[in-house]
């Protein structure tokens, strides 16, 4: 694999919500994108998504040569990936499907292309099991929606070359993402596991009648969620330690937190609890459609990212810093 091959052509395999969002991001960043999906309505849905998401995606940075016209579509997988420099796979979360799909992509792509999976839970060691060139396969798991949220979790499988992980990290960073390197594989990767741990306690509090659904959402988004949008928990604890910083926090406050861990709950997810959450969410949505709520979310996320860019030099680069496209792959 040529570690310095520029990435000019990106293939998107699977054009559901995540694949369509990835396609939008790559287009906004100035790439030629070829997408493929077996659904007979996939192309229409994809182009509609790109059109609807373009302004929000562009608000986080628009490359000078970006255009929706650089999107092409074919239902033929081999054709879609035949000249790709980088492949972003987004098929349903089924191990058997992923294994077969990666085998086919591996056979059809140029040997120096990187093949990344957006898989949210399946490890690359499973996905790459039948590839002839597994050394160039890697997890590149985004956070939804990828055309706005910068996080990408990067982790290789047992047969992934270390250079592939580094090249993927460099590539994602160059296109405005915030990649993190997972040094070990584990189901669900990292960010989803953190989400699951938090949500387990939220659901427990709702089940116990401590909070209703709307107040539990507010407890997260108007409290710790605001701080987490600025800094992660370790750095926030450093601030929480006052002048003594993290050392003071660990010595005086952490023991109390550890002692409280056994009090955290594990809810029993009954049909009644499921119905209670569903009713609470619909009441909180107050008649607004999923699309309307998503647009509100995306607008606020874009605004937050613009503020972060003004204050955080370690954040993702703007498209002006991306050019030329894109060494490190």
Q: Tell me, what's the pLDDT at 310?
A: 87
Contact predicate 62/39, CB 8 Å: no
Q: Tell me, what's the pLDDT at 1?
A: 44
Which pTM does this prediction carry? Answer: 0.90
Q: What is the CATH number of domain 192-287?
A: 1.10.1040.10
Q: Tell me, what's the pLDDT at 60?
A: 82
What superfamily would CATH give domain 9-189+315-321?
NAD(P)-binding Rossmann-like Domain (3.40.50.720)
> Own/partner pairs for 190-193, CB < 8 Å, 24+ apart?
190/153, 191/141, 191/143, 191/151, 191/153, 192/120, 192/121
Q: Tell me, what's the pLDDT at 328?
A: 33
Residue 266 tokens, joined: 């594990």
Q: Tell me, what's the pLDDT at 327?
A: 36
Contact predicate 100/127, CB 8 Å: no
Residue ranges per structural domain of the chain: 9-189+315-321, 192-287
Q: Tell me the mean pLDDT per 10 residues along the chain, length 329.
A: 74 98 98 98 98 93 94 98 98 97 98 97 97 98 96 98 97 96 95 96 98 97 95 96 96 96 96 97 97 93 90 71 37
């Amino acid at each position: 694999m040529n570690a310095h091959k520029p990435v000019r052509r990106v293939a998107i395999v699977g054009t559901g919500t995540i694949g369509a969002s990835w396609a939008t991001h790559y287009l906004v960043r100035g790439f030629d994108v070829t997408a493929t999906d077996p659904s007979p309505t996939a192309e229409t849905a994809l182009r509609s998504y790109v059109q609807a998401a373009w302004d929000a995606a562009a608000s986080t940075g628009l490359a000078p040569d970006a255009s929706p016209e650089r999107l092409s579509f074919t239902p033929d997988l081999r054709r879609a990936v035949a000249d790709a420099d980088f492949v972003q796979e987004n098929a349903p979360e089924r191990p058997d499907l992923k294994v077969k799909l990666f085998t086919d992509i591996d056979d059809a792509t140029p040997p120096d292309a990187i093949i990344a999976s957006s898989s949210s839970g399946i490890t690359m060691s499973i996905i790459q099991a039948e590839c002839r060139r597994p050394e160039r396969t890697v997890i590149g798991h985004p956070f939804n929606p990828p055309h706005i949220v910068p996080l990408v979790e990067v982790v290789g499988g047992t047969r992934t070359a270390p250079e592939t992980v580094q090249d993927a990290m460099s590539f994602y960073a160059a296109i405005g993402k915030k990649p993190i390197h997972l040094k070990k594989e584990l189901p669900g990767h990292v960010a989803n596991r953190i989400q699951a741990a938090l949500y387990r306690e939220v659901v427990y509090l709702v089940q116990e009648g401590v909070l209703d659904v709307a107040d539990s959402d507010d407890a997260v988004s108007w409290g710790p969620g605001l701080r987490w949008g600025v800094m992660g928990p370790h750095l926030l604890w450093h601030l929480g330690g006052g002048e003594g910083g993290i050392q003071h926090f660990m010595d005086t406050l952490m023991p109390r937190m550890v002692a409280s861990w056994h009090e955290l709950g594990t809810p029993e997810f009954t049909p009644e609890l499921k119905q209670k959450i569903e009713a609470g969410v619909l009441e909180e949505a107050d008649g607004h459609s999923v699309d309307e709520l998503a647009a509100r979310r995306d607008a606020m996320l874009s605004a937050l990212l613009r503020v972060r860019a003004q204050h955080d030099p370690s954040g993702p680069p703007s498209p002006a810093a991306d050019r030329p496209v894109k060494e490190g792959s």
